[in-house]
Structure 1
Amino acid sequence: MQLDLNLLAALDALLEEGSVAGAAARLHVTAPAMSRSLGRIRRTTGDQILVRTGRTMTPTPYAIAVREQVHDLLQQVQGVLAPSRELDLTTLERTFTLRWHDSLVALSGPALLAAVRGQAPGVRLRFIAESSIDTPELRRGEVDLEANANRPTAPDIRAENVGESRLVIAVRQGHPLTRVKAVTAERYAAAEHITISRRGNLSNALDDALARLALTRTVVATAPTEAAALEFARHSDLLITAPEATTRSAVADRGLVLLPLPLELPAAPMYLSWHQRYDTDHAHTWLRELARTALTISGAS
């Protein structure tokens, strides 16, 4: 049987996108052409690969089992047919789009941009805001690198834990909690809170931890960004709970005070995430290394 490498690329795209239309858009072919490729793949493998379930298509057990192998094989083939060339940063011209948590942009963005400009003056960075819903831009290649506390679950998204930071309380100077000998869980729960949530969630893991102590707190508002929440805390008796690394540099400018969190909770993680298509991309690998360094130097990780 003669092997058609185009089918390998089509199968990889179908398994990543989970739809004929999405795979066609990725490979810049028409939907009918991709549908024909799916038919050929089905005949070759003797498996349906994708089956329709309502309005979506679900991969078969066989498709799930071979997904990683298919992608690795395609990467190997591409490496053979397009040998890697040494990256020349002085002539590199490329625009990278980064979707980072707002506090990370403020804390680590300047160091990253300075490093990029120093090594590759032809490279531009686009920092964009996080969306209030899960969006597929990372999979579609519209976002190159994400940095936040959420580990992605999609199998085609790579994620690297680059650090963690303990949670602390931020309040205004003169807040009632600054005048007590110790911030207890009871005092923490009795205060009024503002949460940081791009989706507007009024509860999170803190409420679960309080519930285990038979305590509840009052959340009077949510803010979409940490900077906005800090401003609310600055002008009221609201308190926020956030990672120390991202709040530490902001509290002094706003006249805020950091207090220890009286709950046993794991430190907040920090993840860098990217699509697996960039695993062997030299320019993207270079950017990821600079991002790790910027996060470490600024204290975000």
Structure 2
Amino acid sequence: MTPMQLDLNLLAALDALLEEGSVAGAADRLHVTAPAMSRSLGRIRRSTGDQILVRTGRTMTPTPYAIAVRAQVHALLQQVQGVLAPSHELDLTTLERTFTLRWHDSLVALGGAALLAAVREQAPGVRLRFIAESSTDSPGLRRGEVDLEANANPPAAADVRAEKVAETAQVVVVRPGHRLAGEPAQPMTAEQYAAADHVAVSRRGNLSGTIDDALARLGLARRVVATAPSEATALEFVRDSDLVVTAPQATTRRASADLGLVVLPLPLDLPPASVYLSWHQRYDTDRAHAWLRELARTALDAPNRRA
């Protein structure tokens, strides 16, 4: 079989096989039977002259050739789908689609409910899958496993779009009666802030960051006694101790009020925390994806507009 005779369906099969690393996983992704996917793998092997996947124990391992062409295959498939996809107006009332969103947990708490409500009202056939952030960088956007990310940092990949959709000031949260709460007429100083014991919010367990850089410029340093993977966990630590947590105001306002905690201004000159939406460039002209992005922008920025 010459390259020009290659069935384009095999391109989708090859992409799925390389992404999943197994016949069964690729079959599930493309909603075909495992025997049908095995036949596709056989055709791909005959066409390329390469085994593509080889068995090592109970798992399948991609060959060097498969690893080398994985990104190219995925890019080619996206181009083909873009060319062949019909161009028509978006009918939200009949739209049937599932979007996967990897958002920081605090942003899900901030805007997730509003986004879900808007989606259900406008497009009842659309489903949202909110999944947890990983502790390490994930290629989910580039691999097509994630449709839309929302977090504090823009991506570095050139083929991933990023848009800043909101900003919020950093605040300090303590329990009632904490010595830093003091009197409103006597706001906390940077020295008092640095002298307290802190809990830092970091999904990677980082003990230092921009706050410590700002303190260092003042000749100060703080002691971080613990890290928490989420703001919700950090606030629980604060509620039952003399610990201090610093977090974005928009994402902690409601939770702090629910727990009866005290929110104080941060006595440091720090830029506001940013919220970024990120997506792969393949969705730039996807009408349904653009509609979802607009709803997400509104949902994430609404709490700031109410502040």
Partner deviation per Cα, 1:202-223 (whole Å, 9 max, x = no partner): 1111111111111110100000
Hey, what's the Cα distance between the residues in 2 that align with 1:148 and 1:300?
A: 19
Partner deviation per Cα, 1:128-155 (whole Å, 9 max, x = no partner): 1111111111111111111110110011
- The match for 1:47 is none
- The match for 1:263 is 268
Is 1:298 matched with 2:303?
yes
The residue correspondences of 1:137-286 to structure 2 (distance < 5 A) are 137-179=140-182, 181-286=186-291
Hey, what's the Cα distance between the residues in 1 that align with 2:41 and 2:153?
A: 35
**Preserved CA contact (<8 Å) 1:104 1:300:** no
What is the aligned-residue RMSD (CA, Å)?
3.7
Identify unmatched segments of 5+ residues in structure 1. 7-16, 38-51, 58-66
> Could you tell me which amino acid in structure 1 is paired with residue 212 of structure 2?
D
Give the TM-score normalised by structure 2: 0.75
**Preserved CA contact (<8 Å) 2:168 2:304:** no
- The match for 1:99 is 102
Is 1:114 matched with 2:123?
no
- Secondary structure of the corresponding residue to residue 177 of structure 2: coil
Give the TM-score normalised by structure 1: 0.76
**Preserved CA contact (<8 Å) 1:169 1:259:** yes
% identical equivalent positions? 67
- Secondary structure of the corresponding residue to residue 137 of structure 2: coil
Partner deviation per Cα, 1:242-267 (whole Å, 9 max, x = no partner): 11111111111111111111111111
Hey, what's the Cα distance between the residues in 2 that align with 1:109 and 1:21?
A: 33
- The match for 1:43 is none
Hey, what's the Cα distance between the residues in 2 that align with 1:136 and 1:123?
A: 24
Identify unmatched segments of 5+ residues in structure 2. 7-14, 31-36, 49-63
**Preserved CA contact (<8 Å) 1:246 1:300:** no
Partner deviation per Cα, 1:166-197 (whole Å, 9 max, x = no partner): 11101111110011512111111000000000
Task: Count the aligned residue pairs.
Answer: 269
> Could you tell me which amino acid in structure 1 is paired with residue 167 of structure 2?
E
**Preserved CA contact (<8 Å) 1:112 1:294:** yes
Hey, what's the Cα distance between the residues in 2 that align with 1:83 and 1:126?
A: 25
Deviation at 1:93, TM superposition (A): 1.0
Hey, what's the Cα distance between the residues in 1 that align with 2:99 and 2:83?
A: 26
Measured at CA, do residues 194 and 32 of structure 1 come closer, stay the same or move farther in structure 2, by a change above 3 Å? farther
Could you list the runs of 4 or more consecutive aligned residues of structure 1 that deviate by over 3 angstroms after TM superposition?
A: 24-34, 77-83
> Could you tell me which amino acid in structure 2 is paired with residue 278 of structure 1?
Y
- The match for 2:131 is 128
Deviation at 1:156, TM superposition (A): 1.2
- The match for 1:90 is 93
